[in-house]
Structure 1
């Protein structure tokens, strides 16, 4: 089994669609240590509509 230590963050945003990117940006602007996780880099910022 492999382990990975990503560090310590105040907030983790799961999903990098339109809403996820907005949430991560808002948290970062508030000074929080932020990480945004996604399954596919091809879908970053995509809007469903």
Structure 2
């Protein structure tokens, strides 16, 4: 399993970390798009959405 933390994800540099895994810009955009959509609709088990924090 690839660990993104060592490539910058732990510091919030997600684009750099994904690019280190796969050097295709279209792949990076797709992965970050999926992550963004996930975060926007995420609801924790308590029913509080991220936008309510």
Question: What TM-score do the two structures reach when normalised by structure 1?
Answer: 0.33
User: Quick one: higher RCO (CA 8 Å, sep 6+), 1 or 2?
Assistant: 1
Which structure is larger by alpha-carbon Rg, 1 or 2? 2
More strand by share: 1
